[in-house]
Chains A and B, each alone.
Chain A
Amino acid sequence: MLRKILSSRIAVLLLLAAMIAIVPVLAPSSFYLRVAALVWIFGLAALGLTILTGYAGQVSLGHAGFLGIGAYAVAVGPAKLGLDPLLSLLLGAVLCGLVAYAVGKPILRLKGYYLAIATLGFGLIVALVLTSEGAITGGPDGMQVPRVVLFGWRIAGVVPWYWISGGALLIGALLALNILASPSGRALRALHDSEVAAAGVGVDVAAKKLAAFVISGVYAGVAGSLLALMNGFITPEAAGFMHSIELVAMVIIGGLGSVVGAVVGAAFLVVLPQALTVLQEYEQAVLGLLIMVFMIVLPAGIVPSLRRLVLERAA
C-alpha cells in the first residue's frame, strides 16, 4: 500500500506542486524566491538526465551544451532575428532536439567512459562557439535577453518567472513519469540493465537511446531558455563544463532514475552554495565534503535511500 502511494504518479506531482506552492509563503524576500526558481529550472534540466541516465543508463557530460543553446535561442532570436521570445523558446527547444539527434546518432554507439568523453566534447564545442562567435552572441561578455511581453503584459521580476519555472517543472515531471510507465520507458530501463537482452526481445536499442538523448536535450534546452529569460542576461558560462557536471551530480545525489530525486538533487546543488557563502573561502571545500558525505551515507541517492528507509520502517 505504502509502496504504491510512494510510487504513484499523482503523489509525486502533488508533492512537487506542494513544494512549489509553499516556498512563496515561507520566503522572507524575493532573493529566496529567485533561488527556488533556479532550483525548478535546474530541476527541469536534471529531469532530462533522469530520463537519459536514470532510465536508460546513458551518461552525458555535455548537457550544459543544450542549456546554452536554449539560453541563447531566447537571446539571439529576438535581438538579432526579431523573433518573438516565446517563439524563440520553442525554436530553441526544436533546435536542441535536432542537435541532439545529429550528435546522438553517431556517438550513442559508444558506451560508458567513451560516451561520456564524446558528450563532453559536444558540450565543449557549444561553449566554444558561443564564446567565439562574438558578432552574434556577444562573445565572453554575453548578451542581454529581451523581456517577454505577453498580451501587453511585460513579464519582469522574480515572481512571474518563479511560477512559470515551477509550472514548467511540473509539466516536465509529468512527462518523465508518463514515459516511465509506458512501453518506451520499459524499453529504456531494459536496455539499461542488458542491451543484448533488450535487443533479444526486439527493442531497437540504438533508436531508443537516441530518443532518450533527444528528449533530455529538449528538457535542458527549455531549462536554459527559462534561465536566460529570468536572468535577463546570458553568458557562455551557461554552457560551461561545470554546469554539465552539476547536472550529472544532481541526478546522482538526488537518486538516479527518481523524478523527485532530480529536483532534490537540484535543490542540493543550488541552495547549498548559497547557504554556504557565510563560510566565505571555505564554501567550495565544505560543499565538496557534503557531497562526499551524502554519497557515502546515502549511496543510492537521497530520495531512493529515504524511500527504502520509510518502507522498511513501515514493514
Chain B
Amino acid sequence: MSTVSPAPAGGPPPAEQHDPTASAVSLEARDGRQTGLKAIFGGGEAASLRVLIVLALIWIVFTIANDRFLTAGNLTNLTLQVAATGTISVGVVLVLLLGEIDLSVGAVSGVAGSVVGVLSVQHDWNGWLAIVAALLVGASIGLLQGSIVTWLGIPSFVITLAGLLTWQGVQLKVLGEQGTINISDPVITNLANTFLAESLSWIVAIVAIALLVGGTVLGRRRRAAADLELEPMIRLVVRLASIAIAILVAVYVVNQDRGVPVSLCILIGLVIIIDAVVTRTRYGRHVLAAGGNEEATRRAGIPTKRVKTIVFVLASTLAAAGGVLAASRLLAVNQSSGTGDVLLLAIAGPVIAGVSLFGGRGSVWAALLGALVIGSISNGMDLLAFESSVKFIVTGAVLAGAVILDALARKRRLSQGRS
C-alpha cells in the first residue's frame, strides 16, 4: 500500500512515503506462508511431515527391538487396531478445530456398540438397520450436547464430561444384566474382519492415485488459466510421487498377508470425505473460522451456533461409527467397550499429529496419522511384552511432548504476528 495514488482533493497530500518500512513490511509477509503451498495432506505441510518422521523413527526403533514389528502380518494387525480409534479421532479433529473438546466420544462409542449388539442379537434386527440406529443414537447425543454447549454457552469440557458419565451409565443399562453380547450378524462382523481381494485392492489403489493426480493437474491448469501463482513443479511432482509410492507400497505389503482391511478403507474414506468438507466447503471454512475467532465469524454473518452444534453432531456420529467398528472387530460388546484409554487415545492421536488444542489449525489427516503413531507405539510395546504401566507412561509422555510442541508453536506465532 505505498501511497502512490494521486493526492486526494481534501486533506494534505499523503507525502512521499515510499518509505523503507513499506518494503520491510512486504518482506515480512513473504516469510509467512507461501502461495500455493498446499500441504501434502491438506493441512500444514510441516506438521504432517513432522509426524511422518516421528512415525518412521518409531518404526525403526521397534524394528531394531523386534524383527517381527515390520512384517506384513503385524502391519496388517496395526491397521486393524487403529481403524476404530482413528474413526473416533476424525470426529475429535473437528471438535478440536473449533477449539472445543469432546470428552464423551469414548462413552458414545461404547453406547453405539451396545445398541448394535442389543438390536442385532436380542431383537434380531437386520445388521444394517442396527448400525444405522447406532449412528442415529450417536447423532442425537451430539445434537443434545452440542446444543447445550452452544446455546447455553457452557464449556464443552464440562458438558461432555457429564456426558461421559451419563453415556457410560446408559451403556450399562442397554447391555442389561448379562453385560456381554456376542455379535454374530455377518453384516456387522464383516466390517472389521474382511479384506479386499488382491485384485480389487490394486484397482482401488490405482483409481485413488489416478484421481489424486488428475485432480491436482486439473486444479493446476485452472490456476494457470486464471493467472495465479503456481506451486513449484518439482515440489508438486515429489509430493504426488511420494504419495503414490506410499499407497502402492502399503497395498503391496498388506497383500503379502491378508490384504487391505475393509475397516481401513472405511477410515480412509471417512478421512477423505471429512477433509474435503473442512478444506473445500463453505461449512468447513466456517468451522475453521469459528475456531480461529468466533466473534469475528459471528460478525461476518455466519450462524456460529449452528456451525458448532453440527460439529458436535458429526463428532458423536463418528464416535458411534468407531464404536461399531470396535464391536465388529471384537465380535462382541461388553461393559468395558469404549471405556479405559479409548477416549484418551482418540484425543491424543490428532494432537500428536499436529491438531492445535487452541482451535483453527490442523488437518483431518491427523486422525489417521495420529492413530498410526499411537497404534505403533502400543503395538510395538505389546510385541516387546511391556507391562501396561510402561505403555501408559510412554504414551502419556508422547502426548505431553506433542502438546508442548503445539503450545510452543502458538507462542512463536503470537510473538511473530502484529509488529
A and B: interacting chains = no
Chain A residues engaging chain B, CB cutoff 8 angstroms: none
